[in-house]
Amino acid sequence: MDGMLSQEEINALLGSIDNMDSSANGTASSSSDSLTADEKDAVGEISNISMGTAATTLSTLVNNKVVITTPVVSYSTWDNLSQEFGKPCVFIQISYKEGLDGNNILILKESDVKIITDLMMGGEGINVDGELSELHLSAIGEAMNQMMGSAATSLSSMLEKKVDISPPVASLVDLNSTINEAEISDFLKQPFVKVAFKMEIGDLVDSQIMQLYPFDFARDLYRKFSESGSNSEEQQASSVEQPVQQEQQLNQQTIPVQPMTGGQPMMGQPMMGQPMPGYGTIPMYQGQMPYTQPAMGQMMPMQDVNVQPAQFQAFNNNAAQLPGQENIDLIMDVPLEVTVELGRTNKSIKEILDFTPGTIIELNKLAGEPIDVLVNGKFVAKGEVVVIEECFGIRVTEIVK
């Protein structure tokens, strides 16, 4: 009536504005498609620690410095994702088989995958021409397997339970083309959680890597993270309370003995025959007491102790050697692995991937040189190759001391 809005009308107006903002950003307004502030913080913290460990692993694989910055947690949809990644990109699907229930997806740009795989094969990261092949997908799948394996180890420490993943599956996806819904994860058909990281690899890559979570998986992460934190607090509290309780019990049981003065007990000391807390009853004696407490500062008299030197049996060297010589028969039937090594060499991953039937591998041994004989991996002898009927053999020519 007076032109002013009621509180209910103000709340309704603010709610409509929030819904308009959510629609503009491509996010759903329902509570099932959103996270609380605590849940978003927990997902960001868990992703930050996991990807920090994964960056260290990737740095070892590509022999370059890898930096992955603090993540940014937001919501997204498939349509928004298509607008952000115009070119084909690589989806790496990660499924958890123990500790967590669900899966998530890592997204890398096609050019970044080519640089990473070239570095893994011993290149300089500049061989990025041509299309992405199965070799690239296999290599990036192995890199992600090791990266997310180390991330799962970090998760195990945070959640205080074993977390294990299945081997990641890498696939090339063009977001702008028509996508077969059967080929993508079900959670991508609905709004999902997007965690974006900035990734730098030396001077070669300055790009972005993204991790996609379904809402249920993100909430499960927060719930398990909260449970592990509360369990740790309870353990710390119990570890603090236990010494305090022990100290209180000790204080209740320990009562100082006061000296007698003029045949009368001092203040606070129980009379003879009266119960003393923690010690039962002090007995009443007729005549002289069997124990007289020394005066304050006076030492108690020492009692005589019978001390005698220890007696040992003489040591006999011959007797000590006999059991060892007899017991060696007990291990005579233990089998050992004998290996004959023709030679060795070092090859890069790129050279090994180029192996084909007919490839000749040059070893570090010269023709006619003695070959090595190893027992359980230990070099013990040298010899030469012989042929016994249809099998190869080795004639020992020298025993290594």
Question: Each residue of 121-138: b (16+ CB within 10 Å) or e?
Answer: beeebeebeeebeeebbe
Res 273: pLDDT: 47
pLDDT for 260: 45
pLDDT given for residue 398 in this prediction:
92
CATH number of 9-229: 3.40.1550.10
Superfamily of domain 335-354+363-401 in CATH is SpoA-like (2.30.330.10)
Tens-level pLDDT at each residue, the chain (401 residues): 455 655 555 555 544 444 444 444 444 444 567 888 888 888 888 888 888 888 888 888 888 899 988 889 999 888 888 877 767 888 888 888 888 888 888 889 888 898 998 888 888 888 888 888 888 888 888 888 888 888 888 888 877 788 888 888 888 887 766 665 556 677 888 889 999 999 999 889 888 888 898 888 888 888 888 877 666 555 555 555 555 566 556 555 544 444 444 444 444 444 444 444 444 444 444 444 444 555 555 555 555 667 777 776 665 555 445 444 557 777 788 888 999 988 889 988 888 888 889 888 888 888 888 999 999 888 899 998 888 888 888 999 999 87
**Residue 370 token pair:** 């003695």
Indicate the domain borders of the chain: 9-229, 335-354+363-401
Residue 1 has what pLDDT? 45
Within 8 A by CB and 6+ apart from 137, the residues are 90, 170, 171, 172
pTM: 0.51
How many residues are there in the chain?
401
pLDDT at 309: 75
